Structure 1
Amino acid sequence: MDGARSGPAGDRPVVPSGSGDFEIRVRGRVGERFRSAFGELTVRLRPAETVLYGVGLDQPALYGILDRIQALGLELLEVRRLP
């Protein structure tokens, strides 16, 4: 994951504290049913991926989104904190 380092256990990335804007990329074009699971995010479909944009996300919100991505069986490609 871009901009994040593995934590001590290597299972979770280290996310900067405080809130921020994030871009989250998943493989494939996510259908309407899955997009509705991310109502708080802006969703942009690209030819080979779906890009989710979150504004003002704090650490718990970001982890919640990542947990939803995993629970839905989506392949996470990248998480970037936007400037």
Structure 2
Amino acid sequence: MSETQGSTESRHDGFYEIRMKGHLDARWAYWFEGMSLTRARDGTTVLYGPVTDQAALHGMLRKIRDLGLPLVSVIQKKKGTNP
């Protein structure tokens, strides 16, 4: 791989917007540490925030699967660009 351990990059892989069909109750927010949870008017729930690495992203996607909510989209965002 081309990455080095002493990289000066930030400690996370990027910011992600993860949209799922259905409204996720606010009590589930703790399950997605560091992510904001927004229930959109279109009937979707949007998780937004920093993701440490690909393993953490896949862990979040497993949690969404376990909740039974269909995944609509996963978009990597530039830091600071809110959904």
Fold similarity call, TM over 0.5: yes
State the Cα distance separating 1:56 from its structure 2 match.
4.2
Which whole-Å CA distance do the structure 2 matches of 1:31 and 1:50 have between them? Answer: 9
Query: Matched residues, percent identical?
Result: 36
Which is strand-richer, 1 or 2? Answer: 1
Bigger radius of gyration, 1 or 2? 2
Aligned to 1:5: none
Report whether the alignment pairs 1:50 with 2:25.
Answer: no
Which of 26, 34, 37 does residue 40 from structure 1 map onto?
34
Which whole-Å CA distance do the structure 2 matches of 1:61 and 1:82 have between them? Answer: 16
Q: Is the 8 A contact 2:51 2:57 kept in 1?
A: no
Report whether the alignment pairs 1:71 with 2:66.
Answer: yes
Which of 61, 77, 81 does residue 76 from structure 2 map onto?
81
Give the SS at the match of 2:48: strand
Gaps of 5+ in 1: 1-17
Name segments (4+ residues, structure 1) moved above 6 Å: none
State the Cα RMSD in Å. Answer: 1.6
- The alignment covers a number of residue pairs equal to 66
Structure-2-length-normalised TM-score: 0.69
